[in-house]
Chains A and B, each alone.
Chain A
Amino acid sequence: MIVKIGGLIEQFLAWFSTERAKIKAQAADIEAKLTKQNLSPLPAKTTAHLLSKIDELPSHPAHIKAVQSKLQEALTQWKSDPDAPNSLVVLTSPIEDIEAILKETIEAQKEKIPEVKSLPNEARSLRCSAPKTTLKGKLELSRPSQFQVLVVIPDLSWCFLRCAEGLEGIEYLQEKILDDRERFWLIGCNNWTWKYLNRVCNLSAYLEQTLPLPTLRDIELKEWLLEVSETIDFDFADNRDDRNDKSEIEVDNEENWTSKSEQRYYSHLANISLGMSSVAAKLWVKSLCVLESDEESTNSDTASKSFILQKAVLPELPTLTKDDRYLLYSTSLHGNMSLSELALSLGEPESTVRAQVQFLWRSGVIECKQGTISLNPIYYPRVRTNLDNNQFLVGGL
């Protein structure tokens, strides 16, 4: 018995030392790889070029298709049944460009759709001062329509501002939608605005038909980003491990994957971006980096740089104060807004809000483009979780 136990101990020790040696060797290998690969961030020029390419991308076909089919169905019902709902609200996250999605949908279906009246982009600047007059004037709502008209409000957040008198536009819309059956209303709205207005104005009682836009799968994201990804020659960071994994590649080729690493990368990207195209696109650019080997860096004159697509990672939020959270909630609620509108919605002087905006802009959480402030899509998943944890009324994905 003693001999047996002694033998077992010896066996265990032998196994332990072999395994330890293996782990040490693997660790040394990984360390060697890491030290060999000098990864540096993408040059600013390349980043700007890629981001502009992404801005030029059309809305995702899955979104357009979903809106088209639902709109056709709703329009047919409205035309045939006088009691059918005369509105459709397309719901999306605060960072997706709902205006572009609706515009492209209408463009693609122009022949099938009756007369279209769309609220122009400049209407957003009047959302607090005179929302009712703006809506009346821009959409010609005071004129009784003789034919069936499709009225498009690209973004419902253009019609209100969170201040004591900022909800007049929404009240007016509710009234018009109920009274005027000759008009069909196609409204884009972000989930946060929808939840807020539902709580404050009971909006769903007036706009009963909604369409939440679908989240995107890994393969859909890959195909959508293909137009941009083809412009740059890159390799996946974990491509080497892939070469021993042939069998799995063959199985997954049904979905048009070129390698296991590619599938792994986009699957992870879809997961952390919560299936949102704008988050995924920015994360894709962020995960690109330049690979410079030791030899190349020593002969930098002759070195040709190659690009590596690393595993996408969501950036960490800076430490947020309570006031930062109020600001981020307001920004998400309205999608994008000017500094004066933001100050009005927070009930604070502009100078105070400007200082806060500066801090958040420097840390990258918000973006300021042409005088409008909006949330940086890459931070959206973390901002949403943070605000949800801190008892804010946040919308769905």
Chain B
Amino acid sequence: MFFSSFFFVLLAQTDKNNVDRASEIISEITTFKIIQGIVIVAIAYGGIWTTAKLIDWLSEKVPLRLRLPIKQSIPFLRAFILGFAGVFLINLFLNLSPNNVLALTGTVAVALGFAFKDYASSVIAGIIGLFEVPYQVGDRVKIGEHYGEIITYGLRGILLRTPNDDIVTIPHNKLWTDAIANTNKGNVEAQTVVDFYLAHEVNVDRVIQILYRVAYTSKYTQLKFPVVVVMEEKPWGTHFKLKCYPIDARDEFIYKTDLIKRAKQTFAKYSLTYPALPTRQLDS
């Protein structure tokens, strides 16, 4: 309580000092300047929209290996356009002498500190993310409980498309606190792991051979990458994991379906059994 009162007093004092300078900082506002400002905002908005559309279109036209590098240029271009527009607007409406800048930063810092703390944190994390690259557009990431493909890298956060086609917005400031699992890290290929559970009695050599064959003969499989089958023993059966890569990471879910469908067809042909669920005798 004491601390919050102290902060409000501090804020009031800071504001009082700065009010006198406000007229110095803000330049004379004319109708022409307002029109100019609107035009700059419209151009920046149009520029961001056009660039995003153009790059999206271009990334689908170029060879697959160039798709992601092209898509990943969107956040940089967006930041560039926004930066330019910001500088123009500041130049238009503010008189930026060294004293004014000091006063302004003080006010802005206080305002950000209290009102837009999380927003500012996300924006800063987003800018740092551009250079640290924990994720990029086109990557398949798991943040918290959400998994999917990053379709947009915005100023404040990213948009994630989940397997159910839901769009999830995740702020960049998750970078500070959460673990981020990135499956493909800028590559078009992402490893796909498919789980199969079979009974203890099955011929494991046969199962492993079938799983290799299923992966090698799928039209989606990237044959330049390895295919691996690993197994694990469970009390109720044997767990097989088929690890392989699709040619295009966007096919991940349809690829999984194809692998499961064809593996199950072959298991049925060789009468390979699935684990039986443990049953419990009910009291009559």
Contacts and interface: CB of A to CB of B under 8 A. Distances in A.
B193 to A, nearest CB: 19
Contacts of A393: 223-224
A164 B217 contact: yes
Contacts of B162: none
A110 to B, nearest CB: 39
Given A389-B65, A391-B224, A345 B219 contact: yes
A375 B170 CA distance: 47
Contact of B218 (A167, A199, A347): A347
Contacts of B98: none
A165 B213 contact: yes
A393 B188 CA distance: 15
B247 A392 contact: yes
A358 to B, nearest CB: 19
Contacts of A329: 219
A391 B258 CA distance: 19
B64 A166 contact: no
Nearest to A323: B219
B266 A391 contact: no
A199 B64 contact: no
A394 to B, nearest CB: 10
Contacts, number: 57
Interface residues of A, number: 21
A162 B220 CA distance: 12
A5 interface: no
Given A164-B213, A196-B223, A391 B265 contact: no
Contacts of B265: 164
Interface in A150-179: 162-167
A391 B213 contact: no
A164 B222 contact: no
A226 interface: no
Nearest to A348: B219
A274 interface: no
A232 to B, nearest CB: 40
A124 to B, nearest CB: 18
Contacts of B189: 391
B247 A390 contact: yes
Interface string B213-249: 1101111101110000000000000000000000110
B266 A165 contact: yes
Interface in B254-274: 258, 261-263, 265-266, 269
A347 B222 contact: no
Interface string A328-365: 01100000000000000111000000000000000000
A164 B266 contact: yes
A112 interface: no
A196 B222 CA distance: 11
A390 B59 CA distance: 12
B217 A163 contact: yes
A325 to B, nearest CB: 9
Interface of A: 162-167, 196, 199-200, 322, 326, 329-330, 345-347, 389-393
Q: Which 3 A-B pairs have the closest CB atoms?
A: A389-B63, A393-B223, A390-B64
Given A200-B217, A326-B220, A391-B65, 8 more contacts: A163-B262, A164-B265, A199-B223, A200-B216, A346-B219, A391-B247, A391-B248, A392-B247
25 contacts: A162-B217, A163-B217, A163-B262, A164-B210, A164-B213, A164-B214, A165-B213, A200-B217, A322-B248, A326-B219, A329-B219, A330-B219, A345-B219, A347-B258, A347-B262, A389-B65, A390-B63, A390-B64, A390-B247, A391-B64, A391-B65, A391-B189, A391-B247, A391-B248, A393-B223
